[in-house]
A and B are shown apart, each in its own frame.
Chain A
Amino acid sequence: MNILKQAKTVGIIAILAVLAGCAGQVNESAQGPSKVESDAERAAREARQAEFLAKQEAAKADQQAANLAAKTAEQLRNNAMAADTLFFFGFDKSDLSQDALDDLDAHAKYLAADRSAKVRLEGHADERGSRAYNLALGERRSNAVARYLVIQGVNRSQIESMSYGEERPLSLSRDENGWSRNRRVELIYQ
């Protein structure tokens, strides 16, 4: 975000500088005797020139900003792709662990920079307790991740959040090792 803003500011300053330069030149030529030009004609010509130059500079600045943004987005994308996509929870809990936050930040930065990127969050629960309750618990977990991403600047429309409850376990071990693997949210880029 900041980088984009800076790029824009640079562009605007460039345009103003060019405009100032033009104004100077026009004044000089107007002093010459050889050409007779009405005030109105001169003003119109000057305006056309200024407009042309300003457009050219603006396009250049936009291109620079876009290049910078693309470079940044690629970097953010790489960071996001390297980050973990599995986030784990305690029994009957839906609060995010400190561990999860660093990885989620990487996803959030990328998603905020590239509005065309979309993720699906699948919430899961372990097999203990009843299935419909676990379905709701899985949703709470995926919503907790979704909420965090939104707070970090991601659009809600970039996120699809759903729950599988206990129906799609990762691990079939019936002990805390297995259960702790199954209490999770999977972040999947679409």
Chain B
Amino acid sequence: MMKKILPFVIAFLVAMPVRAELVIEITRGVENPFKIAVVPFRVKSAGAFDADLARLIESNLERSGQFVRVRRETMLSLPGPDDQIFYRDWRAIDSEYTVVGSLERGNQGLIVRFGLYDVYGEKLVFPMERIPGEIDSLRDIGHYISDRIYEALTGLKGIFSTRLLYVSAERRSEKDQTFKLILSDADGGRPQTIFQSSEPILSPAWSPDGSRVAYMSFRGKRAGIYVQTLATGEIQKVSDFPGLNSAPSFSPDGRKLVLTLSRDGNPELYVANLRTGQLDRMTNHFAIDTEASWSPDGRSILFTSSRGGKPQLYMMNVSDKTVKRVTFDGDYNSNGAFTPDGESIVFVHRTNDRFHIARMNLKTREIRILTETDLDESPSVAPNGTMLIYATSSEGRGLLGLVSMDGRVRVRLPSASESVREPAWSPFFN
């Protein structure tokens, strides 16, 4: 059943120039991507801007796999928003859509204007827009414009203004490492360290409103679950019992965390009420129960258990704590997460001794393997459900990859230098 995705049609291969900030490699795209030309934004006031908005937008769109850029060097003219557009110039270079824009410094920051033309329909897709902003919010504006274009053409909500959490590790020796919890833009830009430790940091998870993150870290040699408020940096301890305190996941209402504790001698799932601190034990089995993930409707908890002898995924009904096994294919299925519509799950699946990310439709039970690399783990689905981010490795370094939910679009997001892992995709912020 997992052979269904083959054979693929390799639609295109794009080699991108290496840039300091981010390298995108699209290994395989959709069959008919939108061909889009993003004209360099006209700068209408003195002084340069440190971000190339047009590059940011075309990279964003291309990373979705649903767009392919028309290269800047082939453009016959470079119109701004106030110029007349000659559609034949764009048809000549096979551009279906053309984006034009400008930016200028205003009294209190900057003003960005942009428009999206339908070349074959010979019209603006939506009226020209004007966005006031701050100089240091140029990337936010670029992501906003990318979302606007993506939504207008695909009908889906864009994920370019969302954010990523991941862990980086710098290793000097077995016992001398630096772990950092990093928050970045969805394209990997503007990475900032929000927590750092010489001990491991694991399992970062977003609150449903995107204002807080939960993760496991150590204080001394003692593991604990902490919730950090992003705006203030304030850290709340949820648990630091003897033994395991791991794998937190927020309830959809943001009030509870499901997590793994071994304070009663064995890894079991508990639900912690974040306001009262009250703990409710959810499992009672001598096997490993961990990696819980709450369903979007709040009624189920997906988790990994070795109760069948090997790690497999199980689903718990939260109200009566009854458990049903979900995965039967293969001898290693773990670290599951729901898609935003709640209809599918994604997880780590071992096949032919390699670890891949797979997706299972919960109704049909059909499993589709999405990744081709090895040691793939930690799948986290984008809030619009079109892609997921996962951790993989190459030449001994951890890196992050994106893959579309049908497995056809794969993008690697190598980081600058350190080894990265444990990605978590934020919810929408608006």
Contacts and interface: CB of A to CB of B under 8 A. Distances in A.
Contacts of A160: 221
B262 A139 contact: yes
A132 B174 contact: no
B348 to A, nearest CB: 5
A49 B202 CA distance: 71
B291 interface: yes
Interface string A122-155: 0000011111110111011001000000000000
Contacts of A129: 311, 332, 334, 348, 350, 355, 377
A133 B202 contact: no
Interface string B212-256: 000010000111000000000000000000011011000000000
Q: Would you call the interface of chain A mostly helix, strand, loop, or mixed?
A: mixed
B29 interface: no
A118 interface: no
A167 B382 CA distance: 26
B175 interface: yes
B202 A162 contact: no
B288 A137 contact: yes
B267 interface: yes
A131 B174 CA distance: 17
Contacts of B335: 130-133
Given A136-B288, A139-B262, A130 B304 contact: yes
Contact of B200 (A139, A165, A170): A165
Nearest to A161: B243
A168 B267 contact: no
Nearest to B377: A130
A75 B378 CA distance: 49
Given A130-B334, A132-B202, A169 B174 contact: yes
B422 A131 contact: yes
A23 interface: no
Interface string A49-60: 000000000000
Given A167-B200, A167-B202, A168-B200, A133 B291 contact: yes
A163 B244 contact: yes
Given A92-B310, A133-B291, A165-B200, A127 B375 contact: yes
A129 B393 CA distance: 13
A165 B290 contact: no
A120 interface: yes
B169 to A, nearest CB: 8
Contacts of A137: 288
B163 interface: no
Given A130-B304, A135-B202, A136-B246, A168 B334 contact: no
Most buried by B among A127, A136, A160, A174: A136
B177 interface: yes
Contacts of B348: 129-130
B216 to A, nearest CB: 8
Contacts of A170: 174
B396 interface: yes
Interface string A160-187: 1111110111101010000000000000
Contacts of B265: 143
A131 B202 contact: yes
B260 A132 contact: yes
A169 B177 CA distance: 11
Contact of A139 (B169, B267, B350): B267
B421 interface: yes
Contacts of B350: 129
Contact of A140 (B202, B246, B288): B288
Given A133-B290, A168-B175, 9 more contacts: A127-B375, A129-B311, A130-B291, A131-B422, A133-B334, A136-B290, A139-B267, A163-B223, A168-B174
Counting from the closest, the 4 A-B pairs by CB-CB distance are A130-B335, A167-B200, A132-B247, A136-B267
